[in-house]
Amino acid sequence: MTRAGRHGWWAVVTPHLWIVAAALVLLLPLSGALPADDFAELAALTGPVLGFVVVLTVVAELCAGAGLFDAVADGAARLARGRPAILWLLVVAVATACTVVLSLDTTAVLLTPAVIAVARRTGRDPLPLALCVLALANTASLLLPVSNLTNLMAARSFDDGYVGTMAAPAVAVLVVVVAALAVLHRRALHGRYDVPPRRAPRDPVLLRVSGVVVLLMGAAFAIELPVLPTAVVAAAVLGAATAWRRVPITVPVTQMVPWRTAIVTAGLFVAVGTWHAHGLTALLSHLTGAGTGPGDLAQVAAVGALTANGVNNLPAYLALAPTVTGSDARLAALLVGVNAGPLVTPWGSLATLLWLQQYRRHAWAAQPTGLVRRVVLQGVVLAPLAVAAGVAAVVLT
pLDDT score of 11 more than 70: no
Give the per-residue pLDDT at 238. Answer: 94
Q: Give the pLDDT band of residue 12 (cuts 50, 70, 90).
A: very low
- Domains of the chain: total: 1
Please give the residue range of the domain that contains residue 191. Answer: 9-22+38-264+346-374
**Residue range 92-108: average pLDDT?**
90
Give the per-residue pLDDT at 4. Answer: 41
- Per-residue pLDDT tens for 323-361? 998 899 999 999 999 999 999 998 888 888 878 878 887
Tell me if 391 is assigned to some domain: no
**Residue range 304-328: average pLDDT?**
90
Tell me if 327 is assigned to some domain: no
Give the per-residue pLDDT at 367. Answer: 59
Tell me if 396 is assigned to some domain: no
- Per-residue pLDDT tens for 36-76? 998 998 888 888 878 887 888 888 888 888 888 888 888 88
Q: Give the pLDDT band of residue 10 (cuts 50, 70, 90).
A: very low
Tell me if 132 is assigned to some domain: yes
Tell me if 199 is assigned to some domain: yes
Angle at 103 between CA 65 and CA 328, to 5 degrees: 160
Tell me if 16 is assigned to some domain: yes
**Residue range 98-126: average pLDDT?**
86
Query: Do 133 and 106 touch, CB atoms closer than 8 A?
Result: no
Tell me if 55 is assigned to some domain: yes
Q: Give the pLDDT band of residue 366 (cuts 50, 70, 90).
A: low
Tell me if 379 is assigned to some domain: no
Amino acid at residue number 382? L
Give the per-residue pLDDT at 60. Answer: 81
